[in-house]
Amino acid sequence: MAVKRLLGLARPMVWLLLLLLTMTAQAAIDVQSFDDPALAQRFEALSGRLRCPKCQNESIGASNSPIAGDMRARVAAMLRDGASDAEIEDAMVERFGDYALYDPRFEARTWLLWGLPFGLIVIGGGIVALFVVRRRRTGDDTLSAQERRHLDGLIARHDVRNDEPGRDGEPERAGEPGRDA
Amino acid sequence: MKRRLLLLVPLLIFAVLVVFLYRGLSHDPSARDSAKLADRFPAFDLATLDDPDRRLDRSLLEGGDDSEGEVTLVNVWGEWCPVCKKEMPQLQTLADRGVHLVGVDYKDTRDKGNEFLETYGDPFAVSLFDPKGSLGFDLGVYGAPESFIVDGDGVIRYHHTGYITPDDVEQVILPEMAKWR
């Protein structure tokens, strides 16, 4: 029953989550043309990965600011000269710092940033495991004498019912008077 | 007792979070780490603003072959930049206090740049003319005004992004200049 209700909730949740997948608008202002479509594709990718230093949160591909235009022009020029993506990113970081990259590199300064989510998952898993193990060990599932007696009674009654099969084929109703005693 | 203490853990996490976020409140979101500190001033080959035939390169900042150069404040400005006008009195004060200033007229036209210095005064020993912003780009400049303190060996020691306020003159720029003398 509860499972069914959960499944009913799942569908609207999926739609809500899908909304999160909408992409930010990309609008390069100047047009960089490349003879090679592969270069154009790398240009698009780099424009999205590099962050405009003048802006709070815009890629150089989305920003109108003059410095973003300069950076796009430099990226395009370097691509035409045959530079690799890494070389282009290095050239930008050398001038504008780590801020120029949306995904910071993994280095001494950033290991905490990258590692924290995984660390938290491990810690959280550890805590859950600890709780499970502890609960098992303390034996919360052993019954007190009174509970045991109650359970035995229930089982006994159940066995009795099953021993007198299908009276008149009528489905049995719980809590019918006279049956309990 | 141990269990009780365990209940304090969420509070502790919350406290850490509060400290962390509170610090973020006083952090200037437009401030950037400079990538160029302790780097040699980038190479350039530019004409001066007042004389198109006089070309200078970075030996200007590195002194002669055997003599140590001066500590220099390199200021990137442009006629199109309103804040630069407000900054000129502070630069004049610095020049009067014996600071060696080199200007970079960034993304400007020669006429407008010269007119600007006539109107607002010329505190610079020399101004480089950088119409395409190529030197600015290599310096990681993303807007004017920006200032760099360059030591006698031509190494960048301090990067001031944005406006030098009258208070900054005494409290930031002059102490930094003295540090690298």
Give the residue extent of every domain in chain A. 37-100, 106-165
**Segment B155-162 mean pLDDT:** 92
The distance in angstroms from the start CA to the end CA of chain A is 30
At B66, the pLDDT band (50, 70, 90 cuts) reads low
Please state, rounded to an integer, the average pLDDT across all residues of chain B: 91
Option in B29, B33, B35 nearest A95 (CB): B35
pLDDT at A28: 46
pLDDT of residue A109: 83
CB contact under 8 A, A53 and B33: no
To which H or E segment does residue A74 belong?
Answer: helix A66-80
Q: What pLDDT is attached to residue A80?
A: 94
Q: Residue A69 in contact with residue B132, Cβ under 8 Å?
A: no
Assess B67–A contact: CB distance below 8 Å, yes or no: no
Residue B44 has pLDDT above 80, yes or no: yes
Selected for mutation to probe chain A from B142, B146, B161 (highest A CB count within 10 Å) is B142
Residue B178 pLDDT > 50, yes or no? yes
Contact A70, A60 (CB under 8 A): no
- Min Cα distance A65 → chain B (Å) is 9
Long-range contacts, B113-119 (Cβ 8 Å, 24+):
B113/B49, B113/B78, B113/B79, B114/B49, B114/B50, B115/B79, B116/B77, B116/B79, B116/B84, B116/B85, B117/B49
Q: What percentage of residues in chain B have a pLDDT greater than 70?
A: 97
* Overall fold of domain A37-100: Helicase, Ruva Protein; domain 3 (1.10.8)
> What residues of chain B lie within 8 A of the CB of A99, using their CB?
32-33
Residue of B29, B35, B133 with shortest CB distance to A96: B35
Determine whether the interchain pair A98/B33 forms a contact, defined as Cβ–Cβ distance below 8 Å.
yes
Position B94 scores a pLDDT of: 95
Residues of chain A with pLDDT under 50: 26-28, 179-181
Which positions in chain A touch B138 (Cβ < 8 Å)? 95
The reported pLDDT for the residue numbered B2 is 75
Q: How far apart are CA B104 and CA B116, in angstroms?
A: 13
B33 chain-A contacts, CB cut-off 8 A = 97-99
- For the stretch B87-98, pLDDT in tens is 999 999 999 999
Alpha-carbon radius of gyration of chain A: 33
ipTM over 0.90: no
The string of pLDDT tens digits covering residues B14-37 is: 999 999 999 888 887 777 778 888
For residue A144, what is the DSSP state? P
Place of tokens 């720029």: B173
| CATH numbers and ranges of domains, chain B | 31-179 (3.40.30.10)
> Which is more confident, A145 or B149?
B149
Strand order from edge to edge, sheet including B146-150:
B126-130, B100-106, B72-77, B146-150, B156-161
Of the partner residues B32, B36, B133, the one whose CB lies closest to the CB of residue A53 = B32
